[in-house]
A = this chain, B = another copy of it.
Amino acid sequence: MTEAAVLGFGTVGSGVVEVIDRNQAAIRVQFPEGIHVKYILDLRSFPDSPYADKVVHDINVIREDPEIRIVCETMGGMEPAFSFTKSFLEKGVSVCTSNKELVAAHGPELIALAKANRCSYLFEASVGGGIPLLRTIESSLVQERITAVYGILNGTTNYILTKMAREGADFDATLKEAQDKGYAERNPESDIEGHDTARKIAILTSLVSGSTFRYEDVYCEGITKITAADFKYAKTLGMSVKLLGVSRRDPETLEFHVLTAPFLVSCEHPLYSVNDVFNGVFIHGNMVDDLMLYGRGAGKYPTASAVVSDVIDCASHDGRWITRRWDPEVIEPGDRLSEVRRFFVRTDADSEEAARKAFPGLTVVTADGMEGEFAFVTDRVTEGEFEGKAAGLKLRNRIRFLN
């Protein structure tokens, strides 16, 4: 029996304890000695929980128990999660986490610390919830040169955008409803401004490159400016609006171009039917071509399942370090303004002449009830060209095309 401890008995932490308990028979098929949760660390007590007798309030009880081989850090946030994680890795105890803030900020440092102490720091649950995304990149695609990773990485914003698309509702009303239902947090900034997606695409870019792509270097736009009007036009285009994290490696410069922004996605593209709280991520390799992984990007049991997959991996490799290619060396982001794409643009009606002059190859787009403005799709232009040309227009909104 491999002894484990869970730090933080919130949604994900309690899910981890339940998955290990309820699916122990399945786990023992692959790992016959089994996994046992000996301690749960939380400031609170849970007298009515079937796991009440495992709860401790002092981290030192866990630190000083030599039986503990694996710790699940499901506290979230930077401190004390960071200090706790370091203290366990320094003792050669592996740590598995769903804490994307900590991974995005200190991933390479914690991976190096694990390696130095012959244990592992794994974080499958930090990106894409229950989707086995990182393990696929690290263990099934070793033979690939990965040239792009992109997709829907945040369930809250995808829920909001899906609802706006289906019901024609406006952003503010839909956000409020999502908050009332518990799908969006009271302070939704990290989700709706794209920061959560930025952290995740930075983690993915780092794993693909083997170096550190800092999440502060991800160009980031959220969904707060997306309106019901945008969805009307999207519908006539046979498209929908999705918040994507996009990481593309330039085949010539080998630089990574990484951004988070709303994109128009065609109904022919598999990401179009990634709806509600689901996530979907495309990986493009030079040999395997396109792969997509789809699943629940959040939620108690899916996220806990991903944490437990890491626990089993650690238990099967006790005393050995599981490779995660993520060096501390920081890579410079590629020049966003050189990226080529098409834009959907809405301007005031009196900008039509200027727009036709600036973008001679434009395609006009119309939608019912959207008189009094001029909307169009540009030819392929660089972001820099677009910004220069659009500066002379009375812009209402502009949304990037995927492909």
Contact A308 B143 (CB under 8 A): yes
Out of B15, B274, B295, name the residue touching A291 (CB < 8 Å). Answer: B295
Contact B286 A296 (CB under 8 A): no
Q: Is A13 an interface residue (CB 8 A)?
A: no
Q: Which residues of B contact A26 (CB under 8 A)?
A: 142-145
Q: Which residues of B contact A30 (CB under 8 A)?
A: 138, 142, 323, 325
A132-B136, A270-B274, A272-B273 given; A144·B291 CB < 8 A: no
Q: Is A187 an interface residue (CB 8 A)?
A: no
Q: Which residues of B contact A305 (CB under 8 A)?
A: 143-144, 285, 287-288
Contact A135 B143 (CB under 8 A): no
Q: Which residues of B contact A309 (CB under 8 A)?
A: 140-143
Q: Is A340 an interface residue (CB 8 A)?
A: no
Q: Which residues of B contact A210 (CB under 8 A)?
A: 29
Q: Which residues of B contact A280 (CB under 8 A)?
A: 270
Interface residues in A117-176 by Cβ distance below 8 A to B read 124, 130-132, 135-136, 138-145
Contact B301 A295 (CB under 8 A): no
Contact A290 B285 (CB under 8 A): no
Contact B132 A19 (CB under 8 A): no
Q: Is A8 an interface residue (CB 8 A)?
A: no
What 0/1 pattern do residues 261 to 296 of A give for CB contact below 8 A with B? 000000111101111001010000111111111111
Q: Is A222 an interface residue (CB 8 A)?
A: no
Out of B131, B143, B270, name the residue touching A27 (CB < 8 Å). Answer: B143
Interface residues in A9-58 by Cβ distance below 8 A to B read 15, 19-20, 22-23, 26-27, 29-31
Q: Which B residue sits closest to A28, measured CB to CB?
A: B142
Q: Which residues of B contact A299 (CB under 8 A)?
A: 289
Out of B29, B141, B301, name the residue touching A288 (CB < 8 Å). Answer: B301
Sample of 15 A–B contacts (CB below 8 Å): A15-B287, A22-B286, A23-B286, A27-B143, A132-B140, A135-B139, A136-B136, A143-B309, A269-B273, A278-B290, A287-B302, A288-B296, A288-B306, A289-B301, A292-B293
